[in-house]
Amino acid sequence: MSDDLKYFEDLVVGTKASFGRYEVTREEVVEFASKYDPQPFHLSDEAAAQTHFGRLSASGWHTAAMAMRMAVENMKDQRSAGLGSPGLDELRWLKPVYPGDTLRCETELLEKRVSRSRPEMGITKGRTTVFNQHDQAVMTYIANGLIRTRPAASQA
């Protein structure tokens, strides 16, 4: 393993980061909804006009997928010893996401600890907030992450 990797020990609770830019298109909203969340307000303007959305809106699951895409793109720029995620503790859809919106993410590392059963890895908890182009929070989630601890030979 390369020494330029970021390990558990390198993470600092409270660290914040901003990243991503995702332009939401009407075609993608309808395509995603058709396949995974075919509720009428995600498929047509006419149906959405009869709801509190007022117009075609992206599925919350689509918003989560767009946030994941931005996170993965951001990870490509980071050299991390990450090992994936065992899941989320909470996911909130705060405002509708509409075609034409441009999304971005902000993260904050909330806590970290070494795994009791697997000391070669650490467990992190971080909050991600997704914002639209008006700096309105549209979604938040708290994710748990797994990351390698620094190998003993590298700590010397």
Q: Which domains does the chain have, with CATH numbers?
A: 8-154 (3.10.129.10)
Confidence of residue 153 (pLDDT cuts 50, 70, 90): low
pLDDT digits (tens, 9 = 90+) for 70-98: 999 998 888 889 899 999 999 999 999 99
Does residue 128 contact residue 67 with C-beta atoms inside 8 Å? yes
Residue-averaged pLDDT of the chain: 93
pLDDT recorded at residue 64: 98
Task: For the chain, give the DSSP string.
Answer: --TTSB-GGG--TT-EEEEEEEE--HHHHHHHHHHH---GGGT-HHHHHTSTT-S----HHHHHHHHHHHHHHHHHHS-B-B---SEEEEEEE-S---TT-EEEEEEEEEEEEE-SS-TTEEEEEEEEEEE-TTS-EEEEEEEEEEEEPPPGGG--
Average pLDDT over residues 128-135: 98
pLDDT digits (tens, 9 = 90+) for 98-131: 999 999 999 999 999 999 999 899 999 999 999 9
Average pLDDT over residues 35-55: 93
Structure tokens, 77: 């720029």
pLDDT recorded at residue 156: 46
pLDDT recorded at residue 4: 79
pLDDT recorded at residue 1: 42
Q: What is the DSSP letter of 3?
A: T
pLDDT recorded at residue 78: 81
Give me the residues paired with residue 39 across strands. none
